[in-house]
């Protein structure tokens, strides 16, 4: 031990700190660069997954669905064809085969071992339900169009035109048809 040992220790600390400072700076820069690269790789992985792989999967599912709908249309066209326009009117433009595909898809997911027999049974049940609803609504409306008589009563309130009353009556009939469809 010597008298200026404390000064020597301070000098050594200072020299070490000065010589390590560039190394520490470089290490900090490397760590920052690594963090930026990690962020860039995460963004790239997300882009590949969401834009490319998910896009391909969505295209595949869409093509599979469209093919399934087309197959249902050709396979069961005779059974559901007569109700296509009727169904479209009742459901505000929905396609009967698209809804049939969706319904069968739900049934397939609900049953573990789905078979052709299950499909045929489900199709027959759906067709029967649709036929019954069609007959029920057809029975309500009759086979010939009915005349609607509109009377305009003049009162102190603003007049409702005959067209507006007719529209209201048609809406009411349509609502009744939807209510029947739901039952």
User: Between 104 and 179, whose confidence is greater?
Assistant: 104
pLDDT value at position 157? 54
SS3 of the chain: the string is CCCCHHHHHHHHHHHHHHHHHHHHHHHHHHHHHHHHHHHHHHHHHHHHHHHHHHHHHHHHHHHHHHHHHHHHHHHHHHHHHHHHHHHHHHCCCCCHHHHHHHHHHHHHHHCCCCCHHHHHHHHHHHHHHHHHHHHHHHHHHCCCCCCCCCCCCCCCCCCCCHHHHHHHHHHHHHHHHHHHHHC
pLDDT value at position 178? 63
Q: What mean pLDDT is predicted for residues 170-174?
A: 75
- Rounded to an integer, what distance in angstroms lies between the CA atom of residue 117 and that of residue 125? 12
- Which of 21-25, 69-73, 112-116, 164-168 has the weakest average pLDDT? 164-168
Q: What are the sequence ranges of the domains in the chain?
A: 5-141+171-182
Q: How confident is the model at residue 130 (pLDDT cuts 50, 70, 90)?
A: confident
pLDDT value at position 39? 95
Q: What mean pLDDT is predicted for residues 90-114?
A: 90
- Average pLDDT over the chain reads 83
CA dihedral 42, 47, 53, 54 (to 10 degrees): 110
User: Between 149 and 97, whose confidence is greater?
Assistant: 97
pLDDT value at position 133? 86
Q: What is the pLDDT of residues 40-76, one digit of tens each?
A: 999 999 999 998 999 999 999 999 999 999 999 999 9
Comparing CA positions, the residue from 120, 124, 121, 130 lying closest to residue 85 is 130
**Which residues touch 119 (CB under 8 Å, ≥6 apart)?**
104
pLDDT value at position 21? 87
Is this model's pTM higher than 0.85 or not? no
pLDDT value at position 74? 92
Q: What mean pLDDT is predicted for residues 17-32?
A: 90
Q: How confident is the model at residue 7 (pLDDT cuts 50, 70, 90)?
A: confident
- Rounded to an integer, what distance in angstroms lies between the CA atom of residue 59 and that of residue 2? 82
Comparing CA positions, the residue from 181, 175, 182, 183 lying closest to residue 83 is 181
pLDDT value at position 33? 96
């Amino acid at each position: 031990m010597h008298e200026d040992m404390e000064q020597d220790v301070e000098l050594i600390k200072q020299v070490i700190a000065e010589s390590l400072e560039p190394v520490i700076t470089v290490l900090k820069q490397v760590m920052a660069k690594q963090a930026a690269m990690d962020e860039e790789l995460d963004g790239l992985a997300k882009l590949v997954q969401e834009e490319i792989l998910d896009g391909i999967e969505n295209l595949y599912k869409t093509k599979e669905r469209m093919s399934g709908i087309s197959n249902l249309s050709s396979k069961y066209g005779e059974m559901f064809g007569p109700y296509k326009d009727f169904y479209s009117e009742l459901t505000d433009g929905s396609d009967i085969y698209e809804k049939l595909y969706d319904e069968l898809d739900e049934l397939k997911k609900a049953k573990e071992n789905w078979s052709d027999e299950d499909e045929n049974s489900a199709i027959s049940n759906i067709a029967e339900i649709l036929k019954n609803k069609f007959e029920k609504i057809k029975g309500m409306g009759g086979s010939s169009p009915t005349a609607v008589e509109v009377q305009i009563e003049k009162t102190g309130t603003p007049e409702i035109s005959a067209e507006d009353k007719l529209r209201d009556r048609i809406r009411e009939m349509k609502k009744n048809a939807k209510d029947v469809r739901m039952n």
